[in-house]
A = this chain, B = another copy of it.
Amino acid sequence: MVKNTSYHHGNLREQIVKTAFKILDEESIDSIGVRKIARILEVAHSAPANHFQNKQDLLTTLATESFRHLVSIIDKKIPQSRVSLQEAIHYFCDTILKYGLQYPNRYKLLWRTEYTDDKDSELDEAMEEIYVRLTSILKTHAQKIHTDIESQAIAFWALIHGYVLLRLDENLKEGFDEVTGLERQRAIVDVLINGIE
């Protein structure tokens, strides 16, 4: 199915990324291995080296693509400026949570810089786009906000980011968060919105 009679694979790089994502989604970050991927694709254990310098390079590619994917999701139905600040913030936060719940390991990979190459400018720029989306929401409603917009952005980002990770790592002990779905998230985000208005 994947095997190709020709010596040259043709689109091996693409297949490697695809397989790596599959392992990432079905298992974990640490389950990703270059030899394992090569075995799955029925190719020599060292074949991936032609397309990725090393494992970190591969993970950096996964992170960069994931960032772009997430940004594209956000942009798909980004609220117009006429909606309320609350609506816009909730849209942003809901999208992040939804993505995290759907792709837990991708979400973790996005922010764990020890796995990726911190000198990679493409990754840097892809990540930056997330912050741009959030700050632009706050800026369009700046008239409602008193004081420092940067602190507000960091506050919202820390809140939603922390909550998503707590959910993904199952750090909210039993009974501590039996409210599922988006309800809890809406509640805590509302507290913060209440704090800035």
Give the CA-CA distance A195 to B86 in the complex, in Å.
14
Number of chain copies forming the complex: 2
How distant is A192 from chain B, measured CB to nearest CB, in Å? 5
Picked from B160, B161, B173, B193, the residue with its CB within 8 Å of the CB of A165 is B161
A154 within 8 A of B: yes
- Surface stretch bound by B, among A17-25, A42-50, A144-152: A144-152
A124 within 8 A of B: yes
For the residues of A in contact with B, the DSSP-based class is helix
Most buried by B among A114, A159, A187: A159
A residues sitting closer than 8 Å to B (CB atoms) are 28, 30, 111-114, 118, 124, 127-128, 131, 148, 150-155, 157-163, 165-166, 169-173, 176-177, 184, 187-188, 191-196
Give the CA-CA distance A170 to B112 in the complex, in Å.
9
Determine if A114 and B28 form an interchain contact, defined as CB atoms under 8 angstroms apart: yes
How distant is A193 from chain B, measured CB to nearest CB, in Å? 7
How distant is A93 from chain B, measured CB to nearest CB, in Å? 11
Most buried by B among A153, A155, A166, A193: A155
Chosen A-B contacts, 10 in total, with CB atoms closer than 8 Å, are A124-B173, A148-B187, A151-B188, A153-B176, A154-B166, A154-B177, A155-B159, A158-B159, A161-B165, A191-B192
